[in-house]
Each structure stands twice: as C-alpha cells, then as structure tokens.
Chains A and B, each alone.
Chain A
Amino acid sequence: MLTSLLRFLTFLGLSMSLLAQAQGVPQSGGDFSNNPEAKKLPTGVLLVKGAWSSASDSVTPLPEGGRVDKNIYNNPYFGFTYALSPDWVEKFSGPPPSDSGYYVLAQIRPAETFKRARGSILLAAQDLFFTLTPAGNALELVNFAKDKLSPDYKVEQPPALVTIAGHSFVGFAYGSPVAELHWYVLATQIRCHMVQFVFTSRDDKLVESLIHDMDKMTLPAEAGPISGRGGGDVPVCIKDYASGENVIERVPPVFAERRFNPVPVRIIIDKEGKVKHVHFLSTFPDQAKAISDALSQWRFKPYLHDGHPVELETGILFGRAPRLATSPSTNAGTE
C-alpha cells in the first residue's frame, strides 16, 4: 500500500515537473508530429508592435480616432466631418501617430472601379506640441514647408488665407514639372494641431472639384490657421504648460527598462489641476505604465480663463529626445 502511494506520489511529482517545464519553457520547435492540426497564425496582421499609441481611457476621443463610415470621414477629437466624393474610398489605413506628433488621419483615393479620376487625398494632422518644425501655428508650419520645398518643385500658389466651409484655411499649391503633378495643401488649426488636406493630382479640374466639395465640411468654431487653440466644449490647449510654476507636484516616472525612444504624451488637466486623460502617441507598454503611474500623482496649477478654471490640454515629452532643438517661435496656443 505504502509502495503504491509512493509510486503514485513520485508519478504525480514527475508529471507536475514535466508539465511545469512544458508550460514554463518556451519552445523553439521540436517534434510535434502528434499535432498535425497546429493552430496557424493569421497572415497580414501586425502582432508585435513596437512603440505605439495608447490612452488612459477608451472614451475620450483621440486625434487618430477618426473613421470613414458611409463615405463620410468623421473625427470626434477634431470635431469635423468630411464627405468623400462619390466613388472615392479609403483603401489603406495609415501608420500610427509618430513620435514627433504627426498623424495620418485618412488616405483617400478613387475606387478601383472609378477610372476617370486620378488623384489622392491625404488627411493628416501635426500637433504643435511635438513638431520637429520651429512653428507655433498652422500658418507657420505651411510657410515653413514652402520655404523648405525641394528645388524639384515649383510654387504655384504661395501660402494664402482662403475660406473653406465658412472657416479660414491656409492654402498652398506647388507642382512638379517633371512629374506633371500638382499638390494642393489646405490647412487649418484645431486644438493646437494643424489639420491638413493634401490633394495630389495631375488634373487641376479634379482638384478644384474636390476642394469645392470641402464646403460641405462641418468644422468646429475655433478652426483657423492661427486661432485653433481649443476652448468652449473642448479643453484649451497650451504648449509646454507642464513646466515651471505650473507644476505644483511632479513625480518622475520609474522606468523598468532603459530605452532611448522619445515618448510624447498628450494630457488633459482637469479644473482642479489633476491629470484627467493621458494619450501616449508612441510608447512601449512598460513606459506607458510607468508614466501613467507618475502622472496620476502630478498636480498642476489650475488654468484660469476669464477668471474661471477650465480644462487644459498640453504635451509632455518623456524619454530621451534625440532631436535638434527647434528655434523658439510663437508658442502654440499661448494665451
């Protein structure tokens, strides 16, 4: 009896040990001929992300959260809608937000069945918190782009203010004589982001028609190449607010792993000076956790507008910033 019990215990122990080993040690391969129906990984799917975007909650709209639905692009964060021309579609989604605050919102092109039009529409945004360009507003960003235009291009219309859907935009056109292509850039500023429509085509009339269609857009009241600094129903935005005396209590994040990527973080501060929402534009999960834990302890001086505390949106760059210092310009949304 005792022998049987010992045998059983030995068998149990060995089984547990083997099981633990099997579960604990990753397998590089091996003889799995007894499992001919091994599960397949999906193809064409990104399963291993590097630094990526994330947020502290799933309710607060994000700049990259716009979608095309029923041929209308709707972006709740920026508060605008854009109706696509008939037979134009979003074939491929864009990349995630970059660590310099650049967003591809949508890439629109003619449907493959629609052969008459040849062109593309890029909806993009560049925040003014983390831009690599020394610019304080959308107008300056477009002017900078014009000044840095490669000699391969010819300026066809210098940056100038135009009205689209009842709002002020800066319009800029350039072309490539060799490619016989034209680019029309229409940009405005919403919540301290340059929101940009880039039309590319060799057909001027097509672009004129597309731009004409933009009049059907709905935009927030603040939209304008300089004026878009939040407020009203959305937080006021101010670049570099998380500095100096504005920060009453600052707790540095404790990173478990030493990395060297820039970690741009957009935060919304509530009326009491606490961090209400955190948006990581580009970060590894462990970095996001460490920064979230730290920011939950930060306290800010409440921002007053007309003597009343209001919610405020700003950006903080954590991690290493291996970039050239941009020359100071007009602060984004400095009131």
Chain B
Amino acid sequence: MKTVKRASVLAFLVALFLPGIAFSQTDPGVQGGPARAGSPLASVNSSDGTLQFFQNGQARFQDIESVSNSPTGNNGLGPRFNFVQCSGCHLQPAVGGTGPATNPQFQVIANGFVSGSTNAIPSFITANGPTREARFPFFFDQFGNPNPNAPNGGVEDLFTVSGRSDAGSCSLPQPSFALAQQTNNIIFRIPTPTFGAGLIENVDDSTLLRNQAANANNNLGISGTFNHNGNDGTIARFGWKAQNKSLELFAGEAYNVEMGISNEIFTQDRPLPGEDMNAGLPASCLNLSGSGYPEDTTNFTTKAGSDQFATNASIPSDTVMFAMFMRLLAPPTPSTTTPGGATSIANGRRLFSAIGCATCHTPTLSSTQASNFTASLGNAPANAFSDLEIHHMGTGLADNVSQGGAGGDQFRTAPLWGLGQRIFLLHDGRTRNLLSAIEAHESNGSEGTQAELNFDQLLTSSQQQDVLNFLRSL
C-alpha cells in the first residue's frame, strides 16, 4: 500500500514537472557542422577575374602584419593595434565572419605579436571570451575622473608595438584600461560578420526608405531612422551604428583603427583620442615601416604571371582588396532542418514575424541595384534580417558612444543572417545565450520592449523554442 502511494506521488510529481521540462525553451546554441558561410557569390568565377580578386582579397585578409622588415612586405602595423590580422577576429564560422571561440587577442604575447614586457593583456580579454575593441565613452579629467561633459567614444587600441624587435625605439603606454573599468568608463564592440556584405552595400536608399514607410504603422512602439554619410548625405549602413557608407570605407577605417595601418582612405598613423589634441604620436613611433605614408598603397610594380587576372588582383591596395573580398562573400546559407526540425523552424519564422521582431529585423530587403561588380550582387534580394535603420535600444544596451547621427543608445538593427553559427551576441559580446540577447531588447527607452514582451510574456514555451530554433537555423 505504501509502495502504491509512493508511486502515485511520484507519478503526480512527474506529471507536474515533466511538461515544464519538456517545453522549457533553451538556446540551441552555436550550430556545428560545416560553415554555412565563407564561399564567394555564385556568379564569382575565374573567367571574368572575380574569383581571382576574391581569392587575393581572402589571402590578404589572412596576412599577418608586421611593423617593419617583413619578408612578405606586410609592414605598417601599429604603433597601436587590436590585432595583427583581419581574420584573427573575423573568423567564425569562416574567414570574414565574427570572433572565434578561442580569442587570439589573449594569445598575442604568447605568439610574439606583442611584447610582454611593455604590454599586459587587459582583464576583459580572456582565453575563450569575445574578441573586442574598447572605447572610453568620456575623456578623463586631470585627476583621473571620467568627465561626462567631454565625450570621447574613440577606439582605445589594446596593444602597442613597443618592445617588438621590429618597432625600433617606439615607446608607448597602453591606455588606462583598469581605471576605465574601475570608473565604468569603458565599452566594448565585437567584430561584425561580413558575409553578404556586398548585397547590403548594393541596396539602394529608396528601397530602405520604402521599407521604413511600410513598417511605419506597426503598433509595436517602433520607429527607427537612418544614419547618414557625412559627405553625400546618403544612408550609411556598416558598423554597429551604421556609421560607414561603403565596404571600402569600412575596410580603410578598420585597417587604420584596429591594426594601425595607414592607407589610401585614412592616410596617417592614428593617435589615441586625446593624444591627437596634445602632441600626437612621438616621432619615434612614426613611419615605423620606413616606407612613408600611407603604409598601404596601390602596388604600382607587380610581377607578371601567367594568369592576367591574378596579376591584376595584386595591383590594388590591401584596403581595396579587403573590401572586394567582403563584397564578393556570399550570404550565409540557412538550414531548413536544424536545429529542431523543419516544422519548428518554419513555425518559428512565422512567429518571429507575428510578434514584431521582423519589423526591425526585416527578413528581406526586396532587391539590390544592378551591379557593375558581379551578377549575383545585382537585382537580388538581401535576406539580411535587418532594416539597416538605427533604433533606440534603451539604457540596457546604451554604450554612450555617438557615431555620426547615432546617439548613445542607437544601434543599427543587427543583420541576423548567419546567427546560427555566431558565438558571441550583442554589440559587446556580453552573452552567448540567445535568450539573454533577446531579453536585452527591453529596457527604459528601447524600441524593442513591446516585441520582446510579446516573445517573453505572450508566447508559450513551445512557441519560444520554435523562434529560437528558427534563429539558430540562420
């Protein structure tokens, strides 16, 4: 009798908790298997030279840069930098992507890229954490207090070339990361993946404006705007705040800011914010490559080879070829079956739209312009899951950095294509958990609060799981 009673109680408890366990929604996590991205666009081929340009750009994207005396000629690194190689940070799940699982910035001393006697690994760079750049939202005053009346926001490079054997007598300190952390005066950004970037570049402004107008009456509290290029006033679209107009500008800025290499767009070595208003970089840290400025230029003399296209591809500067590589990268290929199965993914896609996520994360921007680069870039849909608008994301995500027309809480709608194989989420890589990333969409001042509430409060656990499966299928 006692045994029967115990069994009944057990059965009751199982009945009570099992549904909860069965339907408890979880992030399916980073999808393994082959990379769903990293290949060139379908129209890229060797007979018109686009493949040779793609391959050349891809190879340069993986070059390890030196300060001077590199046998491969990859000189110009520093005097400050975040890493020595584009693909070090743009690697997940393939070259051109976002930060990898093992952080190469943590290994810079061990790998000899940085001198351990003059540099320390900042505490926010960890072995398995996100690759990051750091910014101080505000300048410090003369006493070491952050001054809210003096906005900064520029990148504070993590490392210096000081102490490297190829850096001469250049001696530079690292920024005061510990003080910045102690005073909450530091924010982080992780690398944006570049798959499909050529399609984003080739979406005409009028398409974006039509999409904005079509989503205007959304009953969700959402009303975004655009960041604009300061030169011609057209819509900018690359970077976490959509601060860059084109891939070439994006590449030129990254080469200069992240790796310290001057180029045809950003023609000088970059001092830190504040340093530029003082004495600038010391003379001993200028022209370290010995070749003058800019360090990355068009290659006027090239060796002729049997493949004329390959020879042609060696002529443009690194910046141009980085941009070309990114431009010709195909968008990620979503899975129709994993995780969760085809039915769950299809259901999740409809739910994603129904609860309002698709208002900002526009599944498809209808069509690109005709392209003069390659056929796949022209008259094609951009399934980026982004409206490329900037939206107020509230105090929970605000980084207090202004870029162009974007204020401290405004961010470009992050394109979600390829999300299934991303490890670190949100602009600063603060979480690996998709549920946490969704949760972060609600806070005071955020346009995402209602849609997040719909997901979090009004869907069943099973429906939420479908949405998560769909997102990780991308």
Contacts and interface: CB of A to CB of B under 8 A. Distances in A.
A69 interface: no
A195 interface: no
B51 interface: no
Contact of B458 (A29, A181, A262): A181
Interface string B377-420: 00000000000000110111010111001111110000000000
B319 to A, nearest CB: 25
For chain A, which range describes its interface: under 10, 10 to 19, 20 to 34, or 35 or more residues? 35 or more
Interface string B457-474: 111000100000000000
A40 B219 contact: no
B465 to A, nearest CB: 14
B407 A50 contact: yes
Interface stretch (A76-84, A120-128, A225-233, A291-299): A120-128
Interface stretch (A1-9, A148-156, A244-252, A304-312): A148-156
Given A40-B182, A259-B405, A133 B136 contact: no
A50 B277 contact: no
A48 B151 contact: yes
B400 A92 contact: no
B217 A44 contact: no
Contacts of A35: 143-145
A119 B458 contact: yes
Interface in B262-285: 272-275, 277-278
Nearest to B347: A178
Contacts of A104: 221, 447
A112 to B, nearest CB: 10
A59 interface: no
A47 B400 contact: yes
A100 interface: yes
A175 to B, nearest CB: 9
Interface stretch (B102-110, B228-236, B298-306): B228-236
B142 A23 contact: yes
A181 B354 contact: yes
B450 A27 contact: no
A152 B446 contact: no
Contacts of B214: 148
A306 to B, nearest CB: 35
A143 to B, nearest CB: 10
Given A25-B277, A28-B272, A38-B182, A260 B221 contact: no
Given A98-B225, A141-B217, A120 B453 contact: yes
Given A25-B274, A94-B221, A258-B230, A181 B355 contact: yes
Given A28-B136, A92-B394, A181-B355, A48 B213 contact: no
Most chain B beta carbons < 10 A, residue from A31, A48, A181, A323: A48
B226 interface: yes
A151 to B, nearest CB: 9
A260 B228 contact: yes
A320 to B, nearest CB: 6
Interface stretch (B6-14, B23-31, B204-212): B204-212
Given A51-B407, A132-B216, A178-B350, A26 B274 contact: yes
Contacts of B290: none
B140 interface: yes
B350 A152 contact: yes
Nearest to A131: B216
B353 A27 contact: no
B395 A45 contact: yes
B321 interface: no
Main secondary structure of the interface of A (DSSP, over half): loop
Contact of A48 (B147, B225, B401, B450): B401
B169 interface: no
B45 interface: no
B233 A323 contact: no
Nearest to A105: B221
A48 B400 contact: yes
Contacts of A256: none
Contacts of A98: 223-225
Nearest to A179: B354
Interface stretch (A161-169, A198-206, A212-220): A198-206
A39 interface: yes
Contacts of A322: 205, 209, 226, 228, 233-235
B410 A50 contact: yes
A28 B139 contact: yes
B458 to A, nearest CB: 6
A28 B175 contact: yes
Given A27-B141, A181-B458, A322-B228, A41 B217 contact: no
A104 B273 CA distance: 37
A100 B445 CA distance: 17
Contacts of A38: 143-146, 179, 182-183
B214 to A, nearest CB: 6
A27 B139 contact: yes
B221 A132 contact: no
B42 interface: no
Contacts of A29: 136, 140, 156, 175-177, 179-180, 272
A185 interface: yes
A26 B233 contact: no
Interface string B76-95: 00000000000000000000
Interface in A287-335: 320, 322-324, 326
Most chain A beta carbons < 10 A, residue from B150, B205, B445, B459: B445
Interface in A90-107: 92-96, 98-100, 102, 104, 107
Contacts of B219: 122, 124, 145, 183, 185, 196, 198
A47 B146 CA distance: 12
Shortest 6 CB-CB distances between A and B: which pairs? Answer: A50-B407, A32-B144, A29-B176, A26-B139, A48-B408, A98-B223
28 contacts: A26-B274, A29-B177, A30-B140, A32-B140, A32-B179, A38-B143, A40-B184, A41-B146, A41-B183, A49-B407, A50-B408, A94-B221, A95-B446, A96-B392, A102-B216, A148-B214, A148-B217, A150-B358, A152-B354, A178-B347, A178-B350, A178-B354, A179-B351, A260-B233, A261-B225, A261-B405, A282-B225, A320-B233
Given A41-B185, A50-B407, 14 more contacts: A26-B274, A27-B141, A29-B176, A38-B143, A38-B146, A38-B179, A43-B184, A44-B443, A51-B407, A93-B445, A179-B350, A179-B454, A179-B463, A261-B405
